[in-house]
Amino acid sequence: MSLQLDRVAPMPDAAVLPHGHHGQGQGQAALAALPLALAAIVLLYHATFWSMVELWVRSQTFAHGFLIVPISCWLAWRQRARLAALVHQPSRLGLPLLGALGLAWLLADAANVPVVEQYAATAMLPACVLAILGWPAVRLLAFPLAYLFLAVPFGEVFLAPLIDFTAAFTVTALQWTGVPVFRDGSNFSLPTGNWSVVEACSGLRYLIAALALGALYAHVHFHSMGRRLAVMAAALLVPILANGVRAYLIVMLGHLSNMRLAVGVDHLIYGWLFFGVVVLLLFWLAARWRELPPARAALPPTLPVYPGAGVPGMRATIRASVACLLLAAVWPALALASHRHDGAKAPGSPVVLSLPDPPAWRRLHDAASGGPIWQAPYAGAPARFAATYTRQTDDGAQVRLQLRWYARQMRDAELLTHLSSPYGARWLALAQRVQDVTLASGALAVRESVLGHGGERLLVWRVYRQGGVVTARPVLVKLLLAQAKLLGRRQDGADIIVSAAYDELAPPPRARLQAFLRAAMPVIERRLQELPHGP
């Protein structure tokens, strides 16, 4: 018996080429497409990125942004060889992430929240890397991409707590060393003179600078995640404590020299010298735990590559690049359409509103009010109303009402915008919180602020009315404004402020403000409803 075997055609041998021949061709094509896509993002959102540059120029606190961008580019350039050797595969998550960031940018643009615009536009850059090159490239470039976020001017929200901490630390240290001191908010008095912790003394610029330096130092000199996080934590905590020590030493220097030293320009010079010494000491100590770079596994000299293996990858890279550009271009176009009427109806000068007197309350002339007349700063030229009221049952006690109404809102002329002095030059905010009050129509949350000037105090309650919704939450105001602009609905907004003066030793007159709001809110609502509400 004989067996006959069928002849099987041999499989073609895989072409064994030098390592990375086709992969490098695909990698070079992907690396060529990526800078073009990133440059297109920067051009499409040039106004947002330019606003960041303007803040770098205008504020010394954020001037480090001029260094962050070239450092990030240098760190990415160092990885160019390893990046070219990767097998790039566009990620399906990249485009949805880019779309979500574009939507966030659009909402922030409509509501005029620059910091959210800047973060969203900056985050689009790593989203493009993910969409075009895939996860391996994102992991390789993780730090340079993340380091870019430090270029976004952010941190002013921490000014108030940093000022409060610095004032409390300084006063406590003075008391421990036997120096008599009296504190009033961020102001404190010594027998030799008066001091105040202002924005420049908050330590914010030291904190941001130390964080940027600490992150770079940790990335370059450490490789384990635990030690990197430890250096980052030290870069956050040490400047805060050091700024308290700095403030204490400057006050003591002025006190011991009978206010001849550390009260002028030398005040800032001493501060930066002290900060430089602290940072050098911090990094000197961190260098004692410096890690050697881990040994990298050697790549195999040759890899089996089948003919045409790089073509699908290049096609996918090109498709992903085009999709990124088209998706990124949608949001500026929508923003341009939503702003097409901005400025068309901006009034040239403020319009004075009329308002009937609330029941049981009588309006006073400003000259007859006698107390401090506080005018809340505002942006643009809204229709406005301001008056002081009293009633017989309060023995002449007064309440001041201020009302600002915007028919349309645009940049630098809207209900909520950044003001360098939100309470004016004379008054200082001592305390802030959200207070719930009961009116005839139900419960209402108001933003309560206690303002001080010497021994004078002002209790201020503030609510916003955006698109017919009364709220004390600025975030909701911004969301309602963005919704109105994008959907073509009513944009009108009102800022309603009531305030009452009192002595620092007296209890805050909350009952008086609640009684006034209970009578005035229906009158204000009816008047605002009479105003035009066109989109």
Per-residue pLDDT of 197-207, as tens digits, reads 877 778 888 88
Give the range among 61-75, 137-151, 395-409 with minimum mean pLDDT: 395-409
Report which of residues 195 and 71 the model is more confident about. 71
What's residue 403's pLDDT? 94
The CA distance from 39 to 278, in Å, is 39
The top-scoring range by mean pLDDT among 129-143, 223-237, 439-453 is: 129-143
According to the model, what pLDDT value does residue 294 have?
Answer: 58
**Percent of the chain clearing pLDDT 70 (strictly above):** 83
For residue 216, how many other CB atoms are within 10 A of its CB? 19
414-430 tens-digit pLDDT: 888 877 777 877 788 88
The pLDDT of 247-260, averaged and rounded, is 82
Q: Read out DSSP for 332-388?
A: HHHHHHHTTTTTTT--SSPPBP--PPPTT-EEE-HHHH-S-------SS--EEEEEE
Return the residue matching tokens 């659009």: 106
Contacts 24+ apart (CB under 8 A), 32-37: 33/132, 33/317, 33/318, 33/321, 34/128, 34/129, 34/132, 34/133, 34/321, 36/321, 37/128, 37/132, 37/321, 37/324, 37/325
Tell me the whole-structure pTM to 2 decimals: 0.78
> What is residue 308's predicted lDDT score, i.e. its pLDDT?
40
Give the pLDDT of residue 432: 84
Higher-confidence position of 199 and 49: 49
The pLDDT value recorded for residue 292 is: 58
> Is the pLDDT confidence value at 516 over 60?
yes
Q: What is the pLDDT of residues 178-203, one digit of tens each?
A: 888 888 777 788 888 888 787 777 88
Element holding 120 (H helix, E strand): helix 114-133
Give the lowest-confidence range in 20-29, 143-152, 451-460, 499-508. 20-29
Q: Is the confidence at residue 368, as pLDDT, over 60?
A: no
| Segment 98-110, tens digit of pLDDT | 999 999 999 999 8
Say how far apart CA 523 and CA 422 lie, in whole Å.
27
Cβ neighbours for 287, distance < 8 A, ≥ 6 positions apart = 221
CA 326 to chain centre: 28
With cut-offs at 50, 70 and 90, classify the pLDDT of residue 96. very high
Average pLDDT of every residue of the chain: 81
- Residue from 528, 403, 381, 378 nearest 463 by CA: 403
pLDDT (0 to 100) of residue 347:
45
Q: Is pLDDT of 263 > 70?
A: no
Look at residues 224, 84, 242, 55 and name the one whose alpha carbon lies nearest to residue 152: 55
> Is the pLDDT confidence value at 318 over 50?
yes
CA quadruple 278, 284, 289, 291: dihedral positive or negative?
Answer: positive
Mean pLDDT over residues 205-228, rounded? 87
